[in-house]
Amino acid sequence: MLIETMALEYRTLTDGELVRGLTELKGWTVEEGKMVKQFGFKTYKDGLVFAVAVGYLADMLDHHPDMEVGFQSVKVSLSTHSVGGLSPFDMELAKRIDGLG
């Protein structure tokens, strides 16, 4: 897997790395330069618990996403401000978030 072998460093992903990484992640898209995924839940509370779990994972990686919590949904947006785009940290955090399910 590309994501498992990608070194975590603050640099912009190449177009090839981004395309390959997105094929390994289910449901993630790129919108306005950010990796984005919408997660659905049975209840509002389930979404809140998920958002807290994402926050915990992000803090462990020291890489923090934007999140929008709505009724039965959480939208996660990833980018790396220091490189002005997407980095290996975004791919790694997306992989970890997907592992919550």
Where are the chain's structural domains? 29-98
Q: What H or E segment, with its residue span, contains residue 23?
A: helix 15-24
Residue 1 scores a pLDDT above 80: no
| Single-letter amino acid code for the residue at 30 | V
How buried is 30 (Cβ within 10 angstroms: 0-12 exposed, 13-18 middle, 19+ buried)?
Answer: middle
Whole-number Å distance between alpha carbons of 95 and 61: 12
For residue range 3-52, list pLDDT tens digits in order.
Answer: 656 789 999 999 999 999 999 999 999 999 999 999 999 999 999 999 99
pLDDT of residue 41: 98
| CATH number for the domain running over 29-98 | 3.30.1360.20
For residue range 58-93, list pLDDT tens digits in order.
Answer: 999 999 999 999 999 999 999 999 999 999 999 999
